[in-house]
Amino acid sequence: MKKQILSVLIILFSFLYFRVDIFASDASIWLKGDSAVTVGDEFDVTIEVSSEEDLSEIESYLSYTDEIAKFISADDGIAGGKGLLRVDIRSFEENSGKFTYKLKFLARKAGKFTISFSDAVHMYTKDTNDDISVASSDLEILIKNKRQASSDSTLSNLKIAGAELKPKFSKSILDYTAEVGTDVENIVVGVDLSDANSEYSLKKDYEDKLQTGKNKIEIIVKAEDGNTTTYTITVIKAEESEPEKGETANSELKPEDDKNSKITSKPEVTEEPEYVPDPSDDKAQTETNIKDSKQTVIYVIIGAAIILGIMFISGIILYIKNKNSDELED
């Protein structure tokens, strides 16, 4: 029984001890920076300090992977090199409770750059010079090789509004033509780049409006490494037809020019009065039509009567023949 009570007391004591250890931190010091950096670039690591007490000094050591990144400089109170930095900070900006300190590094080669506190962090209070409990963190940054600049200066698609490209677009074909009507004044060009890091510009050999005949549009694509490719569209605008030209010329004539023009006016055409038939003739024609209709009806009736008569007589003859045949058989 005594052993059980002793065990419970030990467990309870341990719990209280670790709980105090976990929650007794009066200050924190965190290392922060970018998650990834490119080889050859400089980058910063920030030390962020937060304390509930006014501080008089911070002491510790930082270790880092010197073969991955080179230490360049830091704020006052931090110095060293070759993988180890001494932290001895005594300036706290009027004890505001939160402080930041910068460290600058140069990325040497690809790999994981790590920086951490290699010794316990000691923070001393200003009034009592007590060493307070501190929570801290480490930092890991991925150093990547430089990406080689792309030389792709092609288009993945090229289209224009209101006309058809000939031949059909292909990134390897650089010259195209398009035909438009006389009423088209401009062309809208749509471009899709094969590489998002490239850029393009448009160059036209006309100003605001398309001119009759050939018009040239150049799409100049510049790759990330400076390589360029030029696509050319020749837009052919149709010429005005002869009637359209004549109409335009006539519409531009002024009244005073009309007197001196050599255009011979057409002779006036006298309109003949519309012929109106004599009413008496219409009446006579109507009576004639009625007479002809009556005669036609009479002829149809006579014809039908004759056909019926013939059919009746034929029926009688067949009846007589059939009757005589029956008598002879008897």
Most confident of 5-9, 55-59, 288-292, 318-322: 55-59
**Average pLDDT over all residues of the chain:** 82
Whether residue 291 has pLDDT greater than 90: no
Cα–Cα dist 89/105, whole Å: 19
Residue that wins the pLDDT comparison between 42 and 330: 42
Tokens 């600058």 map to which residue?
104
Cα–Cα dist 316/67, whole Å: 136
Cα–Cα dist 295/301, whole Å: 10
Tokens 């939160």 map to which residue?
98
pTM more than 0.85: no
For position 3, what pLDDT does the model report?
52
pLDDT tens string 12-63:
445 444 433 333 458 999 999 999 999 999 999 999 999 988 899 999 999 9
Most confident of 217-221, 259-263, 311-315: 217-221
Average pLDDT over residues 97-102: 90
pLDDT tens string 106-123:
999 999 999 999 989 999
For position 289, what pLDDT does the model report?
62
For residue 299, what pLDDT band results from cuts at 50, 70 and 90?
A: confident
Nearest to 141 by CA among 40, 35, 50, 262: 35
For position 285, what pLDDT does the model report?
59
pLDDT tens string 180-212:
999 999 989 999 999 999 999 999 999 889 999
Whether residue 179 has pLDDT greater than 50: yes
Residue that wins the pLDDT comparison between 69 and 243: 69
Average pLDDT over residues 216-244: 90
Whether residue 252 has pLDDT greater than 70: no
For position 158, what pLDDT does the model report?
96
Residue that wins the pLDDT comparison between 168 and 97: 168
Residue that wins the pLDDT comparison between 129 and 114: 114
For residue 315, what pLDDT band results from cuts at 50, 70 and 90?
A: confident
Nearest to 194 by CA among 217, 216, 219: 219
For position 196, what pLDDT does the model report?
93
Whether residue 140 has pLDDT greater than 90: yes
